Amino acid sequence: MVELDNIRIELSSFEKPLLEVRDSLNLAEKKLRIEELERNMEAPDFWDDAEKASADMKELKDLKSIVERADALSMAYDDIMTLIEMGNEEADESLVPEVENEFVQFQKEFEDLRITTMLTGEHDAENAILTLHAGAGGTESCDWASMLCRMYEKWADKRGFNVEVLDSLDGDEAGLKSVTLEIQGDNAYGYLKSEHGVHRLVRISPFNAAGKRQTSFVSCDVMPDIKQDIDIEIADDDIRIDTYRSSGAGGQHINKTSSAIRITHFPTGIVVQCQNERSQHMNKDKAMQMLKAKLLILREQENLAKESDIRGEVKEIGWGSQIRSYVMQPYTMVKDHRTNAETGNVSAVLDGDIDMFMNAYLKWINS
């Protein structure tokens, strides 16, 4: 049948890319490592070092997930080919919708697995700390920051990730002046690093009585939540630590004491804040951890820039530059200015459907 033959031809085009993805994942090495970890877990002293045991269990879970996904994808390829052969041999048109659905699912899972092979950065597997700052524009920009915060929370929820608000500052009338989220999940930083930069909104503002179109900006800062000790020395004279009274939603511990912490790093101008932990001491530890992570990423970016100069590369990653526009009037479009990925479905994007932009970024940065 023509329909099945067309799908077979299209599916066959995935044979070589599928093998390439499997090769790039080093599945044989991963399977050996799985066996090694499983043997280690059987040792009677496995839990003597609880921190290492937890890390090993997470590594085992992640390795098994990748191997199982790759094997399931290869099996799906074979199953669809078998269905096509059956349909052609028996001239059974009722199989066409099933084959079409299976092929659509195969394409999605293949793309997801291919993107996984691009998450090879040193910190990609870490959780992410994402901070939004409303730009000039008053209430309109604060509302835009709130909309973006909701977008990232929705995206995380779709992936089954956990989100914790570390710090927030409400706008004077509506929205948020700033907010810091800790997003916990596999490769959270690897995906969310694509969001670092300035996000631009164009719409008829609900806060403008004249009904004029307004442009608002929000900066998004993303860094990995690095748990292990970071080899960065910070001199006492280089920082100022301020305490302040917590604000925003936070339960019974909020507004009781000045437990929130703000650390300013003079040499770089970096400022980090944390108010969500249960004590001033815990907020200080978390804020210091965030500062060290920021300084580490800054150092790595400077090294990357030096390497790029040596190699003569011209690709601009653009930390702090405008990366994406969200236009709601007079037409609807979201466009990424780095990759040219775009969609007219603004409402879906603001509901957390941003994988297409993340995937396009990973392809662009790895090209």
Backbone Cα Rg of the chain:
24
Higher pLDDT pick, 99 / 228:
99
Residues 240, 319 share a domain: yes
Q: Which of 19-23, 147-151, 266-270 has the highest mean pLDDT?
A: 147-151
Residue 76 has pLDDT above 50, yes or no: yes
Residue ranges with strand state E in the chain? 127-134, 162-170, 176-184, 197-204, 213-225, 239-244, 260-265, 270-274, 322-327, 333-336, 342-343
- DSSP-H helix ranges across 1-120: 2-12, 15-24, 27-41, 50-90, 95-116
- In this prediction, residue 35 carries a pLDDT of 97
User: What is the residue range of 306's domain?
Assistant: 127-366
- In this prediction, residue 149 carries a pLDDT of 98
User: pLDDT, tens digit, for every residue of 160-175?
Assistant: 999 999 989 999 899 9
Residues 140, 31 share a domain: no
Q: Which helix (H) or strand (E) holds 340?
A: none
In a domain, 122, yes or no: no
Alpha-carbon gap, residue 69 to 111, rounded angstroms: 12
Residues 310, 229 share a domain: yes
pLDDT band at 1 (very low <50, low <70, confident <90, very high): confident
Q: What percent of the chain has pLDDT over 90?
A: 66
- In this prediction, residue 247 carries a pLDDT of 63
Alpha-carbon gap, residue 359 to 193, rounded angstroms: 11
Query: Is 113 in contact with 21 (CB distance < 8 Å)?
Result: yes
- In this prediction, residue 307 carries a pLDDT of 53
Residues 190, 41 share a domain: no
Mean per-residue pLDDT for 142-161?
97
| Nearest in space to 216 (alpha carbons), one of 207, 225, 229 | 207
Alpha-carbon gap, residue 10 to 139, rounded angstroms: 51
**Which residues are paired to 130 by β-bridges?**
181, 222
Q: What is the dihedral of CA 35, 37, 43, 49, to 10 degrees?
A: 180
Mean per-residue pLDDT for 235-254?
71
Q: Average per-residue pLDDT in the chain?
A: 88
Residue ranges with strand state E in 205-356? 213-225, 239-244, 260-265, 270-274, 322-327, 333-336, 342-343
C-alpha distances (whole Å) from 64 to each of 27, 57, 69, 190, 334 are 10, 11, 8, 19, 36
User: pLDDT, tens digit, for every residue of 270-290?
Assistant: 999 998 877 888 899 989 989
Q: What percent of the chain has pLDDT over 70?
A: 91
Residues 244, 107 share a domain: no
Residues 355, 227 share a domain: yes
Residues 82, 181 share a domain: no
pLDDT band at 318 (very low <50, low <70, confident <90, very high): very low
- In this prediction, residue 137 carries a pLDDT of 76
- In this prediction, residue 244 carries a pLDDT of 84
Residues 342, 287 share a domain: yes
- In this prediction, residue 249 carries a pLDDT of 45
Mean per-residue pLDDT for 322-339?
95
CATH number at residue 14: 1.20.58.410
3-state helix, strand, coil in the chain (%, to 5): 50, 20, 30
Mean per-residue pLDDT for 37-42?
96
pLDDT band at 211 (very low <50, low <70, confident <90, very high): confident
Residues 28, 48 share a domain: yes
DSSP tag of 245: -
**Structure tokens belonging to residue 149:** 């915060």
Higher pLDDT pick, 257 / 1:
1
Pairing type for strands 197-204 and 322-327 reads parallel
pTM over 0.75: yes
Residue 34 has pLDDT above 50, yes or no: yes
Mean per-residue pLDDT for 76-93?
92
Residues 82, 223 share a domain: no
pLDDT band at 306 (very low <50, low <70, confident <90, very high): low
Residues 111, 189 share a domain: no
Please give the single-letter amino acid code of residue 179: V
